[in-house]
């Protein structure tokens, strides 16, 4: 079965979320697929497609013969409502198969605030919530990612969890499952076999026993003291498949290529979950990284590149890498960002490189307002070092600096809050001219497998008091303040350190309407408070209670590699304000995640620093615009599901196709250069087109035929260039020369009186149309724009609309509403095609083309 998603995409706000036809997406012949797997990111497409792990697992899985790995995201509210209205199950993206037809569903557990989204996806797919209720032919559910290190709140929903690096066991898991499917193994046999793989945790094999006070007395497991630990990838020096580099149509929240430079971190910040569960630290060597950068840019055509790491400033060959990348790609206007630059990690050479194309904002994360509290969290920087960083950043041309602080850290006092005020004001005092400082304040949430897993989370009234104090005293001048919600932090804290009883609360909250809890506009604490009350559980007991070191924690039978003894030692040192040095500076600290030999094998920490005496280089100037050498005019068609791409999405499609094809685009100047790509006219989303026009301005004199040939090899299915020719670079812009456009509308069913309706519209002296824009009403006469209207048969309308300069034009939908008398049931399913554009182009010299151009008098 294939879910007919194309029939309803015209009724959703962002249909490009659901197309599944992006460049490098994989579509296999269904007759050759033995194992169908869904990798599920339980949030919207634009969130999930920014997640590097999703891309990695997708590519690795699809390398296997007979295995089709497909993507699944949380549908938007509009599509979800339509699926329910039409009684359709939630499909996968690539084949649009019902989710329940997959044999394995792998959920990414990236955030605790997505847990209700998991239930939304299961309900939309018709899959029972609880593993015990699923039938023999139901998919196996496995969860992985950072939240899998305390999966207990989800344990009743999932069959399995995977701990560690996905690259290590994911391909082996799929090979094994494929063999089991081919052998006709049942669901239980498949689960029993998979749980034998390293890093796989089967919650059904572990049973917690609770004491009268609500704590866990013990966990009954298959063996005495049995624990499950992670499977760890030994090296990052591997090349990913081409299908790990999907190019989204809809811009993700981070619309760029992410290349992982390091995994893990040796800094040892005591609040940092990722810094503990991703140990040991592994660095990609320079040669491997540069090869992957080259390959990724060629496969995607992206204009933005990010080197990812928990602390990119510690990456040994960073300076060498940046210089090589920018020397090679800077002239192609590829920009580079370093999302996790620590204080002290920015050097003059690094700053020069990342500013060569476009300057982005700079982030400084002091986390706490005083050095005393920073020592508690093992982030030992003094105020002067932080100020020197800010001073240096502003002095080298940045005009936007973000500061990140937490409130509610263990041992925090009001003096630490005053430290935030003082530090933020001092940094703002260094900001020149129009430069701005954004202060981001987040409530601290203790996480499992960190030294602070025993700490109490501040009660919400106390967090609100602290937040109000900072808000009141920080606003104004060059400072902008942003903050996280305290009630969201409370829920996150409960889910992060909860046990299996929380599953009932998650279900109760979902049934009461909780969904998309990570989105402020959707989150409602009252719904959750009611769910806790209905299950007789107190959220404060889970969040605001300091744990006894002897207490059995819900996740104690799960290991991230770092020992409980080490975490407890770090907790004690934190409360005393003692700093633990980086093991790459002082040798192995015996955390348990790696051996002394592995630590010794790591490159030393990259030397960094911005000494005050360093002579600042001149502030970067706006880049000069390229001088176009050649203009190529293209005529293309846009049919099929790609009709749901909007105008900005089409512009990105063509820019990245040109980059993949190696076509030398010409760019504008300024701080953010843009490619010179000009469409004749934007096309309404959901409308097909048979002959749209587009100009490309090039930096080299390429033949038009070569441009067309190369682009057609790189464009997605449904977009094809039909013709191309050279145009003088000095002719008037294409987008100001359209005079009219012609549409064909195919109705979902025959309308017997269609001819009569057409005659009625054309015979009226005027057809008023009401428009609402920014709360203001405006009336226009459709007849001023309607050049012609006819009905070749009882299911087809053909009409032409004039484009009248600043007065614009009528919308095709307004013509259809006039003919159909606003019958919404019919309008929703009309298939619209723009068949041609007419231009005011007098000659071939002015950019015309015989066969494509109608010459106007």
CB neighbours (10 Å) of residue 789? Answer: 20
Alpha-carbon span 128 to 157, nearest angstrom: 9
CA angle 644, 648, 650 (to 5 degrees): 60
Q: Secondary structure of the chain: what % helix, strand, coil (to 5)?
A: 35, 20, 45
Beta strands in 261-328 (DSSP E): 262-263, 282-283, 304-308
Task: Give the torsion sign (CA, 490, 491, 492, 494).
Answer: positive
Strands 216-220 and 207-210 turn out to be antiparallel
**Closest by CA position to 307, among listed 52, 603, 662, 59:** 52
Name the token pair of 569.
């030692």
Q: Count of CB atoms within 10 A of residue 433's CB?
A: 7
Contacts of 613 (CB under 8 A, 6+ apart): none
Q: What is the pLDDT of residue 850?
A: 62
Instruction: Answer yes or no: are the C-beta atoms of 407 and 467 closer than 8 Å.
Output: yes
Q: Residue 614: its pLDDT value, please?
A: 38
The Cα 105–Cα 90 span in angstroms is 13
pLDDT along the chain (857 residues), means of 10: 89 95 97 97 97 97 98 97 96 97 98 98 98 97 98 98 94 98 97 96 96 95 80 92 96 94 94 95 94 96 93 89 91 86 74 68 90 96 92 85 96 98 95 93 98 97 97 91 96 98 98 97 97 97 96 96 96 97 87 83 65 42 77 96 96 97 91 89 95 95 96 97 94 88 95 94 94 85 95 96 88 94 74 94 61 48
Distance CA 249, CA 381 (A): 42
Helix axes 486-496, 460-474, angle to 10 degrees: 140
**For residue 11, which of 76, 103, 63, 68 has the smallest C-alpha distance?**
76
Residue (of 226, 177, 233, 231) closest to 199 by Cα position:
231
CA-CA-CA-CA dihedral for 306, 311, 312, 315, to nearest 10: -140
The kind and range of the H/E element at 46 are helix 45-48
Which own/partner pairs from 591-598 qualify as long-range (CB within 8 Å, at least 24 positions apart)? 591/279, 591/561, 591/562, 591/563, 591/566, 592/561, 592/562, 592/563, 592/565, 592/566, 593/276, 593/279, 593/280, 593/560, 593/561, 593/562, 594/279, 594/280, 594/281, 594/561, 598/280
SS (H, E, C) 102-163: CCEEEEECCCHHHHHHHHHHHHHHCCCCCHHHCCCCCCEEEEECHHHHCCHHHCCCCCEEEC
Burial of 87 (0-12, 13-18, 19+ CB in 10 A): exposed
Please report the pLDDT score of residue 377 as a whole number: 98
**pTM higher than the cut 0.85:** yes
What one-character DSSP code corresponds to residue 747? -
How far is it, in rounded angstroms, from Cα 102 to Cα 68?
10
CA distance 242 to 569: 45
- CA separation for the pair 574, 225 (Å, rounded): 28
C-beta of residue 228 within 8 angstroms of C-beta of residue 558: yes
Pair 734, 853: CB distance under 8 Å: no
Whether residue 499 contacts residue 554, with contact meaning beta carbons closer than 8 Å, is answered with yes
Tell me what pLDDT residue 853 has: 55
Q: How far apart are the first and last CA of the chain?
A: 55
pLDDT for res 359? 61
**Nearest partner of 266 among 588, 565, 601, judged by Cα:** 588
* DSSP classification of residue 404: E
Q: Provide φ and ψ at 124, rounded to 5°.
A: -65, -25
Which contacts (CB < 8 Å, 24+ apart) does range 598-601 have?
Answer: 598/280, 599/266, 599/280
Q: What is the model's pLDDT at position 846?
A: 57
Q: Closest Cα to residue 654, out of 720, 741, 602?
A: 720
């Amino acid at each position: 079965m294939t879910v007919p998603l194309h029939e309803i995409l015209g009724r959703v706000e962002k249909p490009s979320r659901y197309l599944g036809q992006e460049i490098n997406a994989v579509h296999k012949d269904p007759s050759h697929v033995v194992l169908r797997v869904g990798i599920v990111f339980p949030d919207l497409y634009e969130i999930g497609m920014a997640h590097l792990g999703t891309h990695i697992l997708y590519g690795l899985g699809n390398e296997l013969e007979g295995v089709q790995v497909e993507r699944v995201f949380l549908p938007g509210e509009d599509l979800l409502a339509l699926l329910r209205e039409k009684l359709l199950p939630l499909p996968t993206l690539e084949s649009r198969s019902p989710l329940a037809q997959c044999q394995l569903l792998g959920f990414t557990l990236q955030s605790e605030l997505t847990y209700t989204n998991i239930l939304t996806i299961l309900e939309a797919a018709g899959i029972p919530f609880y593993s015990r209720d699923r039938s023999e032919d139901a998919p196996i559910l496995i969860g992985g990612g950072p939240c899998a290190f305390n999966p207990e709140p989800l344990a009743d929903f999932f069959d399995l969890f995977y701990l560690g690096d996905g690259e290590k066991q994911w391909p082996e898991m799929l090979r094994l499952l494929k063999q089991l499917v081919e052998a006709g193994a049942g669901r239980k046999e498949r689960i029993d076999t998979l749980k034998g793989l390293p890093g796989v945790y089967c919650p059904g094999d572990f049973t917690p026993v609770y004491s009268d006070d609500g704590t866990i007395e013990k966990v009954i497991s298959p063996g005495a003291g049995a624990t499950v630990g992670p499977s760890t990838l030994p090296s990052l020096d591997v090349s990913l498949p081409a299908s790990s580099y999907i190019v989204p149509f809809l811009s993700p929240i981070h619309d760029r290529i992410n290349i992982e430079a390091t995994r893990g971190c040796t800094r040892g910040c005591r609040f940092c979950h990722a810094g503990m569960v991703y140990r040991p630290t592994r660095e990609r060597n320079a040669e491997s990284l540069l090869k992957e950068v080259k390959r990724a840019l060629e496969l995607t055509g992206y204009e933005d590149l990010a080197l990812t790491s928990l602390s990119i400033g510690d990456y040994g060959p960073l300076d060498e890498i940046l210089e090589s990348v920018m020397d090679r790609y800077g002239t192609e206007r590829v920009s580079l960002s370093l999302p996790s630059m620590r204080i002290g990690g920015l050097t003059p050479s690094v700053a020069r490189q990342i500013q060569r194309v476009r300057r982005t904002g700079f982030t400084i994360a002091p986390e706490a307002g005083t050095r005393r509290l920073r020592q508690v969290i093992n982030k030992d920087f003094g105020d002067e070092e932080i100020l020197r960083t800010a001073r240096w950043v502003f002095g080298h041309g940045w005009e936007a600096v973000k500061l990140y602080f937490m409130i509610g850290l263990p041992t925090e006092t009001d003096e630490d809050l005053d430290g935030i005020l003082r530090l933020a004001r001092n940094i703002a005092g260094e900001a020149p001219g129009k430069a701005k400082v954004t202060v981001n304040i987040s409530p601290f949430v203790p996480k499992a497998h960190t030294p602070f897993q025993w700490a109490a989370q501040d009660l919400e009234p106390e967090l609100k008091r602290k937040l109000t104090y900072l808000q009141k005293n920080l606003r104004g001048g060059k400072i902008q303040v942003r903050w996280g919600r305290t009630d969201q932090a409370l829920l996150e804290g409960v889910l992060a350190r909860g046990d299996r009883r929380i599953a009932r609360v998650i279900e109760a909250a979902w049934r009461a309407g909780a969904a998309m809890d990570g989105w402020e506009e959707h989150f409602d604490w009252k719904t959750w408070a009611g769910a806790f009350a209905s299950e007789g559980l107190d959220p404060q007991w889970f969040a605001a209670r300091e744990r006894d070191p002897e207490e059995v924690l819900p996740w104690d039978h799960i290991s991230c590699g770092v020992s409980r003894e080490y975490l407890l030692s770090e907790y004690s040192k934190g409360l005393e304000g003692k700093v633990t040095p980086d093991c790459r500076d002082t040798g192995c600290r015996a955390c348990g995640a790696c051996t002394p030999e592995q630590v010794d094998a790591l490159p030393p920490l990259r030397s960094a620093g911005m000494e005050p005496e360093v002579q600042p280089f001149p502030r970067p100037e706006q880049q000069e615009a390229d001088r176009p050498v050649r203009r190529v005019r293209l005529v293309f068609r846009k049919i099929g599901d790609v009709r749901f791409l909007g105008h900005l999405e089409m512009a990105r499609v063509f820019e990245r196709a040109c980059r993949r094809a190696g076509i030398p685009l010409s760019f504008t100047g300024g701080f953010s250069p843009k490619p010179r790509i000009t469409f004749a006219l934007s096309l309404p989303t959901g409308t097909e087109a048979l002959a749209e026009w587009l100009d490309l301005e090039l930096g080299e004199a390429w033949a038009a035929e070569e441009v067309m040939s190369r682009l057609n090899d790189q464009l997605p299915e449904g977009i094809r260039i039909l013709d191309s020719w050279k145009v003088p670079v000095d002719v008037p812009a294409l987008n100001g020369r359209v005079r009219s456009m012609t549409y064909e509308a195919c109705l979902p069913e025959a309308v017997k009186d269609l001819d009569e309706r057409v005659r009625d519209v054309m015979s009226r002296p005027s057809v008023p149309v009401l428009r609402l824009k920014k709360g203001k009403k405006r009336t226009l006469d459709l007849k001023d724009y309607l050049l012609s209207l006819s009905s070749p048969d009882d299911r087809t309308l053909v009409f032409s609309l004039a484009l009248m300069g600043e007065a614009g034009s009528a919308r095709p939908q307004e013509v259809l509403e006039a003919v159909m008398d606003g019958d919404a049931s019919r309008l929703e399913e009309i298939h619209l095609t723009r068949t041609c554009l007419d231009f005011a182009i007098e000659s071939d010299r002015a950019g015309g083309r015989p066969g494509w151009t109608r010459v106007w008098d």
